[in-house]
């Protein structure tokens, strides 16, 4: 199977390479690289990068990585303290952009206004959950906005490991005290959920709540286009993409990356601009490249963090699709354990 795997992947990689040559080209270059073996379906639309060397390296890793990788499934056992566990060689990082919100539906600039999901957005979240139901999740980070939080919680209703996401509360001493859990066993079956404003959508200032017509009337079409599409020009009293990226990436580096380094598998549920900012950091994109990056809503993006590097593995397909395999050997082992646990 390993032989077939490398063959298929390389075959696909070659297809990608031809498009790799198009340096200048259409703004949104769609690259579909569906590998039957890996079930990889790259919905990330970008100008290049999806088919970098790291992908091929990823294949080689998969066939070589040995099974001494610590089993990320924390099946309750006597020796199951996180201190004594050997650090994993690799961890999974899942990014999910929330689906349709009530203001998306009405075509209003949303930014940091805390608008909930539509029924369609709810369904998108559940579908996203089906795609990641076999990928380990030890911690969840969301923005302070309900649409991202709901997306995470709805997605996790589909997860096969059946651990329970629990929102952390430290807004006050009482909040912290009141949310205490008094059973070690229960804590082990919990996934801490941390909500922070640094993962919020880009703040859109005086455009928030306006529809396209109103903004064109109030500010002029070109100005609005400039704010939406430039890297560093903020709308009045708002953030530029650069400002958004600054606080989102800083947060990722300070709070999230250490978790990945310590062996935790992490899921981030957030927004178009905060996630593309993080992707800019993960994939080392330029500001020009990040402007053209569009992350599909409700389609999770998987990265493998290994040896301090982020390897993009595209978007996991739904569990019902044919030919779904893991992206690395440890993910394959994890899935196997889930199958054993529940069948």
DSSP state of 292: T
Output 31 or 140, the one with its CB closest to its own copies.
140
Name the token pair of 243: 């400002």
Binding mask 212-241 for its own copies (x = CB under 8 A): --x---------------------------
Output 9 or 275, the one with its CB closest to its own copies.
275
Q: Count CA atoms within 13 Å of residue 152 on its CB side.
A: 28
Which member of 13, 117, 135, 293 binds its own copies (CB under 8 A)?
A: 117
* List 90, 201, 239, 257, catalytic entry: 201
- SS3 state at 36: coil
Structural element, H or E, at residue 79: none
32, 65, 69, 167 from 62: Cα distances, Å: 21, 6, 12, 34
Of 39-47, 68-76, 142-150, 253-261, the window that binds its own copies (rule: CB under 8 A) is 142-150
Q: What's the first-to-final CA gap in the chain, in angstroms?
A: 24
Residues from 152 through 191 that contact its own copies (CB under 8 A):
153-154, 156-158, 164-169, 171, 174-175, 178-183, 186-187
Q: Is 102 annotated as a binding residue?
A: yes
Q: Which residues contact 16 (CB under 8 A, 6 or more apart)?
A: 31, 33, 50, 51
Q: Count CA atoms within 13 Å of residue 325 on its CB side.
A: 17
Q: Does 113 bind its own copies (CB under 8 A)?
A: yes
Q: CB–CB of 318/118 below 8 Å?
A: no
123 is catalytic: no
98 is catalytic: yes
Output 130 or 312, the one with its CB closest to its own copies.
130
Binding residues for substrate: 97-104, 110-111, 147, 201-204, 212, 228-229, 272-273
Q: Would you name the residues annotated as active-site residues?
A: 98, 201
């Amino acid at each position: 199977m390993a032989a077939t795997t490398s063959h298929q992947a390389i075959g696909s990689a070659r297809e990608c390479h031809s498009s790799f040559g198009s340096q200048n080209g259409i703004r949104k270059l769609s690259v579909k690289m569906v590998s039957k073996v890996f079930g990889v379906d790259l919905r990330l639309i970008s100008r290049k990068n999806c088919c970098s060397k790291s992908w091929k390296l990823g294949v080689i890793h998969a066939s070589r990585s040995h099974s001494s990788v610590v089993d990320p499934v924390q099946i309750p056992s006597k020796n199951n303290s996180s201190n004594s566990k050997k650090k994993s060689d690799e961890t999974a990082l899942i990014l999910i952009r929330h689906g349709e919100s009530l203001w998306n539906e009405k075509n209003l600039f949303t930014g940091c206004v805390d608008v909930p999901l539509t029924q369609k957005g709810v369904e998108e979240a559940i579908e996203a959950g089906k795609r990641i139901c076999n990928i380990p999740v030890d911690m969840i980070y969301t923005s302070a906005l309900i649409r991202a939080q709901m997306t995470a919680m709805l997605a996790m209703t589909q997860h096969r490991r059946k651990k329970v996401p629990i929102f952390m509360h430290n807004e006050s001493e009482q909040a912290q005290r009141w949310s205490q859990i008094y059973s070690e066993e229960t804590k082990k079956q919990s996934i801490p959920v941390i909500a922070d404003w640094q993962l919020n959508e880009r703040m859109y200032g005086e455009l928030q709540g306006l529809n396209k017509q109103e903004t064109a009337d109030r500010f002029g079409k070109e100005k609005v286009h400039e704010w939406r599409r430039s890297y560093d020009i903020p709308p009045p009293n708002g953030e530029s993409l650069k400002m958004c990226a600054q606080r989102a990436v800083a947060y990722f580096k300070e709070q999230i990356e250490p978790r990945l380094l310590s062996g935790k598998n992490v899921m981030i549920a957030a927004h178009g601009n905060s996630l593309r900012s993080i992707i800019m950091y993960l994939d080392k994109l330029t500001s020009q490249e990040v402007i053209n990056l569009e992350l599909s809503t409700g389609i999770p993006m998987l990265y493998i963090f290994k040896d301090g590097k982020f390897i993009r593995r595209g978007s996991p397909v739904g569990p019902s699709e044919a030919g779904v395999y893991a992206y690395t050997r440890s993910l394959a082992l994890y899935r196997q354990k889930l199958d054993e646990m529940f069948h």
